[in-house]
Amino acid sequence: MEKKYIFKKPYVTEWGTLPVGSDIVLFRGFVYFNGGMVTPAYADILRNIVTDPKLKAEYLDEQVIEKNEF
């Protein structure tokens, strides 16, 4: 399923900060961050944010992907 999430506040990690307004898109089994496909290691980190209910509620707003938008 295709989903898009926008960061509503900065997410700080040991590797850096994901800024407000950045997006995560899950599309056909791949993970994109700000329009670029990410490597499997980073994809796991981003998927963790999306799948953890507490992190998702605190940091992300879910957006609807319209057909032919991506």
What pLDDT score was predicted for residue 24? 96
CA distance 62 to 64: 7
11 and 59 in contact (C-beta within 8 Å)?
yes
pLDDT by residue for the chain (70 residues), tens digit each? 688 999 999 999 888 999 999 999 998 889 999 999 999 989 999 999 999 999 999 999 998 877 765 5
DSSP track, 53-65: HHHHHHHEEEE--
Q: Which helix (H) or strand (E) holds 32?
A: strand 30-33
Tell me the pTM: 0.85
| Residue 57, φ and ψ in degrees, nearest 5 | -65, -35
